[in-house]
Structure 1
Amino acid sequence: MADGLLVAYETQLRARTPPAPGPLGAVFEQDGPIVQAHFGTHGTVDHRDLPGSELGTLVRRQQETFADRGEPVEWKVHASDPPDLAQHLVAAGFTPGWERHVLVAPIDSLSSAPLTLPVGQRIREVQFREHALLARIQAMAVASGPHRTSLAESDADGDAIGWGRSLAVLELDGRARAAGWAVLVDGTEFVSIGGMTAPEPAFLTGWLAWIGLRSRHPGSSRPLGGHRWRYLVAEATGELRAMFLAAGFQDVTTVRSYHWSPPNPPARERPVVLVFDDPEGEKVWERFASQWDFSTETQVHQELVEPPKSVTWHLAAIEEDDAAIAELESIVQRGLRVAVRPGERVYALHPNTQGYHFDPRRTGGPGQPRTPRCAYPDGGDHRLYTTADLRLGTFGDPWGQTLCVFGSDLLAEVEDDLTTLLGIVLRRGGHPVGNVWSFGPDGHNVTGP
């Protein structure tokens, strides 16, 4: 049984490149048998089979790649890896870190019978707006690590949105005593237990019910072409490992981490960061709404107060033209890359839903994560690109079918290209220039001043 579980673990979870879109702000690259994960702030190395020779050369090549990116790297060595791999890592300057057991259980073999908790205790899902509780859980997670996947990394990956993660808390008389988080691993048959702050079997019972619900939900991921999730995987030592073993998990291997950092300090934030119920993102929206006299309360077309240094185009010329819309996004993204200050973040926001902030110079290029698309107002939603100070950006209005670009630095980079693509300038500095968009019998027609 354990051998079969190890085969499933090795073939599905090791050297894995996640299906798109994958973890937020991450890039995965292949170097022979090696899969490198680059997060901008750090990176990881994983693999299955390695060549029996030239391991030292392979290790040094990974170091060079991560040094070029300025990313510290973690290399996980499993008991099944070549016995001299660890020696080559140490010789290259890697430092040994934590060691844990990898535990796997077939989901069908685990008891789903509800556990009777002591009086005053309960297990429940954490809601995303429980800010004080989430801060408390983050503190517990840091104090109890390391985990298979830290809660902070899970949040940065974007696991907090959608259906793919369960974050549960054990409360005693209303106060958080322990927490645990588990993630459906897209494209596999595995559910990964990212971590537990204390060995509480009741979390397992809750996750089995959650997995059952997700398997039946029409909006959930469908692993391996639609097959159900079959396995739970965890990493643990000590009392937490003992709890997993008692619940029916099996030790399949051990894993030890090795760490190396380039000389220069790494970036503090990923190239793309989720803005999800985030106070700073909300403040940007509030400042924008105030300055532009904008409201999402009504779909009546508004007379927005566009900035003096702005140009507004009509978008009907590219409506339902995917290639042209992609070109619009590309023009704006190239302009942002040049116009923003080094290290400055740009917000990509939609009202009433999650958005992002990102560094345009660290996205959209070779070996970089994709830039969030936020220029064209598709789906009937407004779209806003802006620096935090509202100095420059774009605003896409689906009700007026317009794109406004504001800020002289950005306009200098994009105005000619956007005019070539879109054709008609409607307003400059918020004032009509005399062009009128009309719909004639032969389609779209433009009447000039």
Structure 2
Amino acid sequence: MSEDPVTVLAEAEHRRVWDRFSADFRFRPGVSPFSWPAIKEPVASVTWSLAALDDDPEYARLDRLVEVVRQGLTSCVGPRGTLFALDWQHTSYRFAPHEVGGPGRPAWPLSPCPDGDYSIFLSEDFRTGSFGHPWEESICLFGEELLAAVATEVEAVLGPPIRRSGTAVDTAEPRGRGFR
């Protein structure tokens, strides 16, 4: 990492990182529900709907979600570790999460919550991160360490997940033995 804790990815690196992400996660952008999820969600992943944020007029839950995800991502990289922040069709970054946010520091380059485009955070080895889907209005968090650090709190903010390891979670009420 250079002296600057947030750097824009140069064109060649931008292309390399996006190409690897697209291949590793089988990224297929699309606005149609028939194409969702837009990635092959990893085995160690949980996806939540962001619908709970719709009735959050003061943005308290949104702010809490962003804080929790950022803290989790930061805890998953060492003190000198970096993350990629990818914003589909826009500038992407490499940054040192331990050196951003807070007074006198640069801001995080993106929010983990999608704002019109896909918002992606990735560890350098691509094993840990988040994938915000703007049209499905969802966030997928992946990596065992990240999930261990944040899943309970994210569920408290957003409610139960919609998928685990890429498989839909059965939200139907369990049927009793006497049900016919």
Output aligned runs, 1:215-230, within 5 Å. Answer: none
Q: Which residue of 2 aligns with 1:425?
A: 161
Q: Which residue of 2 aligns with 1:410?
A: 146
What secondary structure, in the 3-state scheme, does the structure 2 residue paired with 1:378 have?
A: coil
Distance change >3 Å, CA 320–CA 285, structure 1 → 2: farther
CA distance in 2, matches of 1:365, 1:407: 26
Aligned with residue 23 of structure 2, among 279, 286, 290:
290
Deviation per CA, 1:132-191: give whole Å up to 9, x if none: xxxxxxxxxxxxxxxxxxxxxxxxxxxxxxxxxxxxxxxxxxxxxxxxxxxxxxxxxxxx
Are 2:77 and 1:340 equivalent residues in the alignment? yes
CA distance in 2, matches of 1:408, 1:357: 22
Q: Tell me the CA shift for residue 448 of structure 1.
A: 5.0
Asked whether the equivalents of residues 329 and 373 of structure 1 are also in contact (C-alpha less than 8 Å), the reply is no
Output aligned runs, 1:300-311, within 5 Å. Answer: 300-301=32-33, 302=35, 303=37, 304-311=39-46
CA distance in 1, matches of 2:49, 2:19: 25
What secondary structure, in the 3-state scheme, does the structure 2 residue paired with 1:288 have?
A: helix
CA distance in 1, matches of 2:150, 2:44: 13
Output aligned runs, 1:178-193, within 5 Å. Answer: none
Q: Which residue of 2 aligns with 1:268?
A: 2
Are 2:31 and 1:299 equivalent residues in the alignment? yes
Q: Tell me the CA shift for residue 369 of structure 1.
A: 2.1
Asked whether the equivalents of residues 383 and 397 of structure 1 are also in contact (C-alpha less than 8 Å), the reply is yes
What secondary structure, in the 3-state scheme, does the structure 2 residue paired with 1:343 have?
A: coil
CA distance in 2, matches of 1:314, 1:332: 15
Asked whether the equivalents of residues 83 and 124 of structure 2 are also in contact (C-alpha less than 8 Å), the reply is yes
Structure 2 letter corresponding to 1:310: S
CA distance in 2, matches of 1:326, 1:373: 13
Structure 2 letter corresponding to 1:271: P
RMSD: 1.9
Unaligned runs of 5+ in 2: 175-180
Q: Which residue of 1 aligns with 2:106?
A: 369
Structure 2 letter corresponding to 1:389: D
Distance change >3 Å, CA 375–CA 365, structure 1 → 2: same
Q: How high is the sequence identity, in percent, across the aligned residues?
A: 37
Distance change >3 Å, CA 281–CA 388, structure 1 → 2: farther
Q: Tell me the CA shift for residue 352 of structure 1.
A: 1.2
Structure 2 letter corresponding to 1:300: S
**Structure whose alpha-carbon radius of gyration is higher:** 1
Relative to the length of structure 1, the TM-score reads 0.36
Are 2:120 and 1:388 equivalent residues in the alignment? no
CA distance in 2, matches of 1:388, 1:407: 13
Q: Tell me the CA shift for residue 428 of structure 1.
A: 1.1
Unaligned runs of 5+ in 1: 1-266, 436-446
Runs of 4+ in 1 over 4 A off after TM superposition: none
Relative to its length, the structure with more strand (as a share) is 1
Q: Tell me the CA shift for residue 354 of structure 1.
A: 0.6
Asked whether the equivalents of residues 377 and 383 of structure 1 are also in contact (C-alpha less than 8 Å), the reply is yes
Tell which has more relative contact order, 1 or 2 (C-alpha 8 A, sep 6+): 2
Q: Tell me the CA shift for residue 311 of structure 1.
A: 0.7
Deviation per CA, 1:216-269: give whole Å up to 9, x if none: xxxxxxxxxxxxxxxxxxxxxxxxxxxxxxxxxxxxxxxxxxxxxxxxxxx733
